[in-house]
Amino acid sequence: MSKRVCIFASSCNYLDKSYYEAAAELGSLLVNSGFEMVYGGSSLGMMWACAEQFKNQGGKIYGVMPERLYNMGISTDVCVKLIVTKGMRERKAKMDELSDGVIALAGGFGTLEELSEMIVQKQLGYNNKPIIMLNTNGFYDKLNEFFETIISKNFAKQKSREIYYIAQNPEDAVNYLLNYVPQDLAINKIDVYKKL
């Protein structure tokens, strides 16, 4: 079971309230299931809704923030440790290093970038962590359709679907974490050169 979960999520404060409610519910479920949390260290958006609820229930949080954002004054004091990195690449690497699993909530380009990198890392065998997309309000439906296009047109292998999991609600996401069994899904030389 993964014990330290990395949360990727929007930092926007102007979304429909259902997104913040789902983030807060996830934070509550995670802390009550014995998890620790890694996140972007921000006091904004869905990431903060999740972290605030997590902290309010006594959870242990690690924050990782690039110095450009840190200098804007948007960090919080809820973290047992706040790590300031030089840039976004270092931030992602540190979040990966600190976590045993990943949940991507609804988010923008930054969340998409973070999620995509984790999927590729797992595809290549650099990690074997649970990677979850929390599909609040069907947010990830279109992305999943695009993933299916990638797979159906042979840009990725059929087993790529097993790299990530699309959870329909916070309880589904936490149950997947609790029951996750690592599998060897990394591509190999045969996968690369064998025609489907």
Mean pLDDT by 10 residues, the chain (196 residues): 88 96 98 96 95 95 94 89 94 96 97 96 93 98 98 92 97 97 77 60
pLDDT of residue 59: 95
- Identity of residue 18: S
What's the CA dihedral at 119, 125, 127, 129 to 10 degrees? 60
Query: In the prediction, which pLDDT does 146 show?
Result: 98
To 10 degrees, the CA torsion angle through 185, 139, 101, 113?
Answer: 80
For the chain, the domain total comes to 1
Give, for 146, the enclosing helix (H) or strand (E): helix 141-152
Q: Indicate whether this model's pTM tops 0.85.
A: yes
Residue 183 sits in a domain whose CATH number is: 3.40.50.450
Query: Which residues form the domain of 24?
Result: 4-193
